[in-house]
Amino acid sequence: MTAAALSVRDLGMQFEGLSALADVSMEVPAGEIHGLIGPNGAGKTTFFNCLTGFYRPTAGELWLDAQRVDGLPTHVLSALGVSRTFQNIRLFANMTAIENVLVGSHIHIGVGGTDVLTARRPSKYAALERVLSLRGAPRAALQGVVELAGAVGRPPAVRRAEAEAVNTARRLLGAVGLAGKENVLARNLPYGDQRRLEVARALATRPGLLLLDEPTAGMNPQESAAMVGLIRRIRDEFETTVVLIEHQMRVVMGVCERITVLDYGRKIAEGTPAEVQRDTRVIEAYLGTRAVKEAGDGSP
């Protein structure tokens, strides 16, 4: 998939009186590596959850290229090219590495109809829409039967698609440095490998927008450096826009072209790493007001 441009307009996420995100707007041009930083509880992961349909945003709009995508179900967003990794690794623990990646390529193994066709924006008339979508139920049932027949009968087209997917999965595992570990259960992989496997699985969905949630968390400096290299390669080789949440400033400053800073669910700064580093509001958010004063005193 080609890299997609992300546009976020006045995004808000409210949980029963707790405002996790408010008026967040940002533009990420196609092919950029964009950093998302902020202190703990700033709303970074909530932002990712809104983008991937885990939460339905309570305000604002999300646009992927020219398509409005907020409120779409998770699997449809995935089909539209939004893929992600998780802060606390969420692999399919009892499946092998290659099977994890194959789940990622699920919709690209062509069997019967695709799920993308059923993508429909939810509206305020949800009840009416549910009634209308019944019209699609026979079609969905037919698609299901076709898919089942394909899986049981295994005609050449299905075999070919499956073999291709296995090849792609091997290639992806190789690309993230997991060659030779295809048949190891995900949960038996060392920690760093698990993080890399999550990236491979996300890449298997052929994302236009890849969301990485703390890809270097818990890694030592060498592993982090390798991950930074991997992120750059992903952007170049897989043609995808990358948004990453990161706490290690060395990583953020090293790999991101532009950075957005969140604090208490609001955007407080945006710009190149150098600009963000100088921003007094950012320093304040991270280190407190005294630090800003001292920094101000120290500089001419």
Q: Which residue intervals of 155-287 are DSSP H helices? A: 156-175, 191-204, 221-238, 249-255, 273-278, 280-287
Positive or negative, the CA dihedral 243, 213, 17, 121 is positive
Give the SS3 label for residue 68: strand
Least separation, in Å, of the C-beta of 296 and another protein?
44
- Furthest CA-CA distance within the chain: 76
Of 4-12, 73-81, 269-277, 289-297, the window that binds another protein (rule: CB under 8 A) is 73-81
Least separation, in Å, of the C-beta of 114 and another protein?
10
Of 16-24, 60-68, 199-207, 231-239, the window that binds another protein (rule: CB under 8 A) is 199-207
The rounded distance, in Å, linking the Cα atoms of 133 and 155 is 31
The rounded distance, in Å, linking the Cα atoms of 136 and 133 is 5
Least separation, in Å, of the C-beta of 188 and another protein?
5
Q: Which of 1, 30, 59, 184 binds another protein (CB under 8 A)?
A: 184
Of 17-25, 109-117, 224-232, 240-248, the window that binds another protein (rule: CB under 8 A) is 109-117
Using CB under 8 A as the binding rule, the residues of this chain from 111 to 140 that contact another protein are 111, 115, 118, 140
Binding of residue 183 to another protein (CB under 8 A): yes
Binding of residue 187 to another protein (CB under 8 A): yes
Which residue's CB is nearer to another protein, number 151 or number 287? 151
Binding of residue 45 to another protein (CB under 8 A): no
Q: What is the DSSP string of 81-146?
A: TEEE--SS----TTSBHHHHHHHHTGGGS--SS-SGGG-----S-HHHHHHHHGGGHHHHHHHHHH
Q: CA distances (Å), 259 to each of 1, 32, 35, 40, 225, in order? A: 24, 10, 4, 16, 19
| Cβ neighbours for 56, distance < 8 A, ≥ 6 positions apart | 50, 70, 71
Residue 264 tokens read as 């208490």
Q: CA distances (Å), 34 to each of 58, 212, 220, 246, 261, in order? A: 24, 10, 22, 10, 11
Which residue's CB is nearer to another protein, number 144 or number 296? 144
Of 46-54, 228-236, 250-258, 266-274, the window that binds another protein (rule: CB under 8 A) is 46-54
Which residue's CB is nearer to another protein, number 198 or number 263? 198
* Type of residue found at 58: T
Of 69-77, 228-236, 254-262, 286-294, the window that binds another protein (rule: CB under 8 A) is 69-77
Which residue's CB is nearer to another protein, number 37 or number 98? 98
DSSP category for residue 29: -
Q: Which of 28, 79, 173, 259 binds another protein (CB under 8 A)?
A: 79
The contact set with another protein (CB under 8 A) reads: 52-54, 73-75, 78-79, 83-84, 86, 90-96, 98-99, 102-104, 106-107, 109, 111, 115, 118, 140, 144, 147-148, 150-152, 154, 158, 162, 165-166, 180-185, 187-188, 201-202, 204-205
